[in-house]
């Protein structure tokens, strides 16, 4: 159902996925300059191998932006970043599906506008609101603009709610991991072998394998589901 929906979704309009990120509780950080450097390095690593039409870049204050060609890679960027960031640093992401246009006349970087950016802003504000309500584990939210799809609002609204439900479960699983578990999961998702991860973390390969089959199993399955929703359906 959802893969077919996404195929139609992609054929309807040239859909892009705008990402807006901001640093959680940035004013409380003792060394903002160092924190921003670590975050930029983490985003660069998280972006490796992904189909990003615009790699993550700083805009103003503690905000960053990126653009992905696919929803699967937009979600992968957020997941990798959540896993790779060290304790004490966190980002919230708003993802907007829609159109992106470029406004000529900018001297350094083209100014972008369009429905993907409008709903990405709505999405990050929603994530912030949910955190303020006490659901601090929610770090990612998706909005789909109506002009990005054909069909009734109920159809794309249902899909948006479905993906956000999975993102809530995904982010909650990450929230419960210990730092080493997050690093191991990042390695597994980014193509490292269990032996390579074991050497990096100075643990046995058996310990990595056991994590992948126990505490990490649910997140690995969630990511497969997200890849199936937005990756396989786009190209088939």
Please report the DSSP string for 33-52 in residue order. Answer: HHHHHHHHHHHHHHTTT--E
Burial letters 57-76, b for 16+ CB under 10 A, else e = eeeeebebbbbbbbbbbbbb
Residue 58 confidence (pLDDT)? 84
Tokens of 232: 């396989």
Helix (H, G, I), strand (E, B) or coil at 216: coil
- Which are the contacts of 58, defined by CB distance < 8 A and separation ≥ 6? 36, 40, 64
Residue with tokens 């959802």: 2
Residue 6 confidence (pLDDT)? 44
Residue 53 confidence (pLDDT)? 93
Whole-structure pTM value: 0.85
Residue with tokens 């003792």: 30
Residue 224 confidence (pLDDT)? 85
Select from 218, 167, 168, 200 the least CA-distant residue to 84. Answer: 200
Residue 3 confidence (pLDDT)? 47
Residue 105 confidence (pLDDT)? 58
| Number of CB atoms found within 10 A of residue 198's CB | 19
Select from 163, 164, 170, 167 the least CA-distant residue to 216. Answer: 170
Tokens of 72: 């699967």
Q: How far is CA 174 from the centre of its chain?
A: 13
Q: Under a CB-based contact definition with an 8 Å cutoff, are residues 148 and 12 in contact?
A: yes
* All domains in the chain, ordered by first residue: 14-167 (3.30.70.270)
Using the Cα atoms of residue 194, residue 199, residue 201 and residue 205 in order, give the sign of their dihedral.
positive
Residue 102 confidence (pLDDT)? 75
Query: Which residues of the chain fall short of a pLDDT of 50?
Result: 1-12, 231-236
Distance separating alpha carbons of residues 167 and 37, to the nearest angstrom? 27
| Number of CB atoms found within 10 A of residue 159's CB | 20
Residue 223 confidence (pLDDT)? 86
């Amino acid at each position: 159902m959802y893969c077919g929906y996404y195929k139609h979704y992609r054929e309807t309009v040239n859909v892009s996925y705008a990402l807006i990120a901001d640093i959680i509780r940035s004013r409380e950080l003792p060394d903002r300059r160092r924190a921003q450097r670590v975050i930029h390095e983490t985003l660069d690593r998280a972006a490796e191998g992904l189909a990003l039409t615009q790699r993550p870049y700083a805009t103003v204050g503690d905000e960053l932006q990126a653009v992905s060609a696919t929803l699967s890679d937009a979600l992968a960027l957020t997941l990798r970043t959540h896993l790779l960031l060290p304790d004490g640093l966190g980002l919230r992401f708003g993802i907007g599906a829609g159109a992106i246009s470029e406004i000529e006349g900018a001297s350094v970087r083209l100014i972008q506008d369009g429905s993907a950016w409008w709903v990405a802003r709505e999405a990050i504000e929603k994530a912030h609101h949910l955190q303020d309500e006490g659901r601090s584990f929610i770090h990612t939210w998706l909005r789909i603009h109506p002009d990005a799809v054909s069909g009734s609002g109920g159809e794309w609204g249902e899909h948006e709610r479905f993906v956000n439900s999975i993102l809530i479960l995904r982010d909650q699983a990450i929230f419960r991991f210990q730092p080493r578990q997050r690093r191991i999961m990042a390695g597994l998702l980014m193509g490292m072998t269990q032996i390579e991860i074991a050497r990096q973390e100075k643990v046995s390969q058996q310990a990595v394998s056991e994590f992948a089959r126990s505490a990490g199993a649910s997140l690995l399955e969630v990511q497969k589901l997200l890849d199936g929703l937005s990756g396989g359906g786009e190209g088939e």
